[in-house]
A and B are shown apart, each in its own frame.
Chain A
Amino acid sequence: MAFTDMRNWLLDESPASRRQARWGRIFRISLAFRGNALAMVGLVIVLALIAMAAFAPWIATHDPIAQDTYARLRPPSAANWMGTDELGRDIWSRVVFGARITLAIVILVAVLAAPAGLLIGAAAGYLGGWVDRVLMGITDIFLSMPKLILALALVAALGPGIENAILAIAITSWPSYARIARAETLTFKNADFIAASRLQGASSLRIVVGHILPLCTSSMIVRVTLDMAGIILTAAGLGFIGLGAQPPLPEWGAMIARGRTFILDQWWVATMPGFAIITVSLGFCFLGDGLRDVLDPKSGEKH
């Protein structure tokens, strides 16, 4: 009974308070999201990644950096589910701990790049004029350079390491967010509801933060989620060429790089972390697609 009460409260067409209205909207979005099977698969994968990262010490069967030269390059078995690498480390445990690094990269890039891009794009779009020209000029300079090359140059300049790799990826990914935010802002800028709040004396800051950003965030969340796959791949790429995470950190890209030497005889060394990368990338793509279906303001404002 309590459950149906709760449901009715959430789906009430005439909410009685701000809180009820907000929760009702969230509930409706989650109902729509639940109807999308692929998106649910994506969500499960991403939740699994988070769980893996959070409970890595309990999920892993071995110490991820403990070497055992007697047990080098063993194929997958009951003792070592994904086999062992050239230093006898358990690949399963390394993949599990690698989830932490991957998650850290993804979260930090999202936290650094998305808000910066959002703010720069919204400001440029709303204020227009020379502010727009300067901000978008800078954005274009960054956009005109290939992402991976720019990240490479930055890491080379800052020195190899996981922190610098994250920084480099963040610096290379904000411009595309700024572009999107600006485009979105331009479509809303001349809307009557913006004109109405200008007439009420709202400052530019209030309009950008209070009116325009909330409209851009949903498409930004979608975009960032879809970009996650690319970010993971870039991080793996940097790891692969040795500019990302440094040994003995169990970063997936770096693991593939080391496995490359044995790819023909001991396929599992490179394949297992590759598998992890593919699964997580796909998970974020599915999740992003599903989020786009329920959040995108252009696909109607049903929620």
Chain B
Amino acid sequence: MTPIHIDNLDVSYGETQITHGVTIDVEEGGSFALVGESGSGKSTVLKAIAGLAPEWRGTIEIFGKPRSHGIDAGFARTCQMVFQDPYGSLHPRKTVDATLMEPLNIQGLSDHNERIAAILKDVGLDNRFRFRYPHQLSGGQRQRVAIARALIVEPKVLLLDEPTSALDVSVQAEILNLLKRLRRERGLTYLMVTHNLPIVSFLCDRLAVMRGGRIVETADAENLKKGHLQNEYSRELLRLSAPPAV
């Protein structure tokens, strides 16, 4: 059963239709990238899956289960999301501990202390950080907390919305390594939105290039590495992100 099956998805905000007939399949344990520039509709697809953009037509299935248009607590156990801006995605008045406690309370999970300690260790934060407030953490540490919050309910699918674009290069490398390791250890399925092709090359095995709300090309990451993209626009993106000889 495919973790993410999206067929002919049209998402709208009020009168404006953002995406047109988006079709994606992500296999179990896979890591799929939606690539495009701002306004291409790539984040909108993610929001529709998450239930944050309820106006859509088409099919969204997570492990064969049709997705409802809202958010329900059961879905939360299967699919979680990590946001772009680590400064906006943590409640400024809650400690790391309180932030991680909430999903456990909502889902009615027991062993709070053990689970929080374990997940913090897993994302590479030691116990000193557990009772800090977000303003006492660096950007990379906040993003680790955000990842811990997403993973503490043990979902199978993780939606990643430009998870490193707000971070410094050296911190980005740490977070990318972390995401790669967690996917391997926990058998997670990733759907990541990004504009950065080298990141796709590092973390993903398939990608879809979006423009103006449509997918213009779906390809294997191998083809990206070799520079074998077919669509003209994809090739343009590829040319722009090829670093000049350094």
Direct contact of A and B (CB under 8 A): yes
Assess the A15–B102 pair: CB atoms within 8 A: no
CB distance from A32 to the nearest CB of B (A): 13
**Chain B, Cβ-Cβ closest to A21:** B131
A7, CB-defined interface residue at 8 Å = no
Known: A25-B133, A199-B80. A297 touches B128 (CB 8 A): no
**Option from B51, B132, B133, B136 in Cβ contact (under 8 Å) with A199:** B51
**Chain B, Cβ-Cβ closest to A13:** B136
CB distance from A251 to the nearest CB of B (A): 39
Assess the A192–B88 pair: CB atoms within 8 A: yes
B71, CB-defined interface residue at 8 Å = yes
Assess the A199–B81 pair: CB atoms within 8 A: yes
Stretch of A36-44, A46-54, A140-148, A206-214 lying at the B interface: A206-214
Known: A15-B131, A16-B131, A200-B76. A195 touches B95 (CB 8 A): no
| Docked complex Cα distance between A181 and B97 (Å) | 27
Centre residue among B88, B91, B92, B132 by max chain A CB count within 10 A? B91
Assess the A200–B153 pair: CB atoms within 8 A: yes
CB distance from A186 to the nearest CB of B (A): 15
| Docked complex Cα distance between A16 and B135 (Å) | 17
Q: For chain A, which range describes its interface: under 10, 10 to 19, 20 to 34, or 35 or more residues?
A: 20 to 34
Within 8 A of B (CB), among A177-225: 191-193, 195-202, 206, 210-211, 214-215
Assess the B149–A215 pair: CB atoms within 8 A: no
Assess the B102–A202 pair: CB atoms within 8 A: yes
Q: For chain B, which range describes its interface: under 10, 10 to 19, 20 to 34, or 35 or more residues?
A: 35 or more
B245, CB-defined interface residue at 8 Å = no
**Chain A, Cβ-Cβ closest to B92:** A301
A77, CB-defined interface residue at 8 Å = no
| Docked complex Cα distance between A302 and B89 (Å) | 17
Q: Which residues of A contact B146 (CB under 8 A)?
A: 196
**Chain A, Cβ-Cβ closest to B70:** A198
Within 8 A of A (CB), among B177-217: none
Q: Which residues of B contact A17 (CB under 8 A)?
A: 131
B72, CB-defined interface residue at 8 Å = yes
| Docked complex Cα distance between A201 and B72 (Å) | 5
Assess the B80–A193 pair: CB atoms within 8 A: no
Q: Which residues of A contact B73 (CB under 8 A)?
A: 200-201
Q: Which residues of A contact B89 (CB under 8 A)?
A: 191-193, 195-196
Known: A195-B83, A201-B106. A14 touches B128 (CB 8 A): yes
| Docked complex Cα distance between A15 and B97 (Å) | 11
Kindly supply a per-residue 1/0 record for chain B positions 204-234, scoring 1 wherever the CB is within 8 Å of any chain A CB and 0 otherwise.
Answer: 0000000000000000000000000000000
Q: Which residues of A contact B135 (CB under 8 A)?
A: 301-302
Interchain residue pairs with CB less than 8 A apart (7): A15-B131, A16-B127, A197-B91, A199-B51, A199-B80, A201-B107, A202-B102
Q: Which residues of A contact B (CB under 8 A)?
A: 13-18, 20-21, 25, 191-193, 195-202, 206, 210-211, 214-215, 297, 301-302
Besides A21-B133, A193-B91, A199-B50, 19 new A-B residue pairs in contact (Cβ under 8 A), listed by A number: A17-B131, A20-B131, A191-B89, A193-B88, A193-B90, A195-B50, A196-B83, A198-B51, A199-B52, A199-B71, A200-B103, A200-B153, A201-B73, A201-B76, A201-B106, A214-B93, A215-B93, A301-B134, A301-B135
User: Which 10 pairs of residues, A with B, have the shortest CB-CB distance?
Assistant: A201-B73, A14-B128, A192-B89, A21-B131, A15-B131, A201-B76, A192-B83, A200-B103, A192-B88, A193-B91
